[in-house]
Amino acid sequence: MSLERPVHPNPYDLLPQVPSFTVTSDDVTDGAPLKDDQVAAKGDTSPQLSWSNVPAGTKSFTVTCFDPDAPTPSGFWHWVLVDLPADCTSLDTGAGAEGASLPGKAFMCRNDGGSKAFTGAAPPQADQVHRYFFVVHAVTEDSLGVDSDASPAVVSFNLAFKTAGRAIIQGTYQH
């Protein structure tokens, strides 16, 4: 049995279309391999992210990191950060550390690794190249309406009805 699997589509292409805006990073280059800092066994550090040109009416932000290429039917959620205030336009490197000081009433939900923090890239040895979608979601409400025990699927479900815009930067990683 081969470990080679078909490449999953960009999961955000399957959602209702919303306006895009700009996201940049000092740590992630769109379409390029992640730095060691963003890899689980080497650094496990969330990247710096900055965003601009957000849609009018944005009241908060949610930031996620998702790997659709994980060898599971549901991919793997590496980071779920919700309720960032509307005046927040960036996150420093390491903002996803467990217990990190976050702006306003922002908090992290449990990722698929079980922690309320960022978990770095960790594809299986000899597996295909994995894509890591770092997404800033502009939210139409001050609060997404979830608590820190919400699963990434519940957060995503709530985002389906409260997203005003989405900005994506994608890194890759393979052992």
In a domain, 59, yes or no: yes
Average pLDDT, whole number, for the chain?
Answer: 94
Question: Binning pLDDT at 50, 70 and 90, where does residue 2 land?
Answer: very low
**11 alpha carbon, distance to own chain's centre:** 12
Answer positive or negative: Cα dihedral of 125, 129, 134, 137: negative
Q: Is the pLDDT of residue 5 over 70?
A: no
Our count of domains for the chain comes to 1
- pLDDT computed for residue 63 by the predictor: 98
Query: Can you name the residues that pair with 76 across neighbouring β-strands?
Result: 67
In a domain, 85, yes or no: yes
In a domain, 38, yes or no: yes
Greater confidence (104 vs 7) lies with 104
Tokens of 64: 């996620």
In a domain, 5, yes or no: no
Q: CB neighbours (10 Å) of residue 102?
A: 18
In a domain, 46, yes or no: yes
In a domain, 118, yes or no: yes
In a domain, 169, yes or no: yes
Domain that holds residue 141: 24-173
**2 alpha carbon, distance to own chain's centre:** 29
| pLDDT tens sequence across 92-128 | 999 999 999 999 999 999 999 999 999 999 999 989 9
In a domain, 2, yes or no: no
The CATH code of the domain that includes 124 is 3.90.280.10
Question: Binning pLDDT at 50, 70 and 90, where does residue 75 land?
Answer: very high
Q: What is the DSSP string of 41-55?
A: TTT--PPPEEEESPP
Q: Is the pLDDT of residue 13 over 90?
A: yes
Judging by beta carbons within 10 Å of its beta carbon (0-12, 13-18, 19+), is residue 13 exposed, middle or buried? Answer: exposed
What is the percent of the chain where pLDDT is above 90? Answer: 91
- pLDDT computed for residue 7 by the predictor: 74
